[in-house]
């Protein structure tokens, strides 16, 4: 009886996803910096303005990100209860879709700003979020990645989204109020 060598689960399979994620983050940052901001909102239907739209959509994504963490913990057997896999997939899809109009408005109307520390942190977190999200989605179908890949990339996306919520929605709700 001969031993079957275990396949190496090195970092090579992560090269393309991480490179693509880094390029996505960099491209968003460069575009946000070189694009001349228009200064006006686009597509705020149902909201009184761009800031309430962004605050509420980001809050929706924030809540769904918590659903993502809970459902991921369930899928990895850390909760002792089973949540249907569709909950994880669909909460992630909807959370991502909620961020699109927010990111579009941020890039189109405001660009990447660095004058105020909170806004700089928000701008950089936004670029980082889309970069790590890109890397996670590209690493997802790969079965030869290290076992820590999805939890780490998912955790980074979650952390970035929490930072985005704190530097935008939380700030808006505490400074401006609960406007719709």
Q: Where are the domains of the chain?
A: 22-34+49-175
70 vs 35, 60, 88, 125, 137, CA distance in Å? 38, 16, 9, 22, 19
Q: What is the pLDDT of residue 3?
A: 44
Q: Per-residue pLDDT for 62 more than 90?
A: yes
Q: Provide, rounded to the nearest whole percent, the portion of the chain with pLDDT above 90.
A: 67
Distance separating alpha carbons of residues 28 and 146, to the nearest angstrom? 28
pLDDT at 63 over 60: yes
């Amino acid at each position: 009886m001969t031993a079957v060598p275990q396949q190496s689960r090195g970092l090579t399979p992560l090269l393309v996803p991480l490179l693509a994620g880094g390029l996505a983050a960099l491209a968003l940052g460069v575009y946000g910096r070189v694009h001349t901001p228009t200064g006006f909102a686009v597509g705020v239907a149902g909201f009184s303005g761009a800031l309430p739209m962004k605050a509420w959509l980001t809050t929706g994504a924030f809540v769904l990100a918590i659903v993502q963490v809970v459902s991921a913990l369930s899928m990895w057997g850390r909760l002792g209860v089973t949540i249907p896999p569709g909950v994880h997939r669909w909460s992630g899809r909807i959370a991502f879709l909620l961020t699109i109009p927010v990111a579009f408005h941020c890039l189109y109307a405001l660009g990447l700003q660095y004058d105020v520390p909170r806004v700089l942190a928000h701008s950089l977190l936004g670029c980082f979020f889309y970069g790590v999200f890109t890397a996670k989605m590209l690493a997802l179908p790969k079965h030869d990645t290290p076992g820590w890949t999805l939890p780490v990339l998912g955790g980074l996306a979650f952390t970035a989204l929490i930072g985005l919520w704190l530097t935008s929605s939380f700030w808006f709700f505490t400074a401006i109020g609960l406007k719709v």
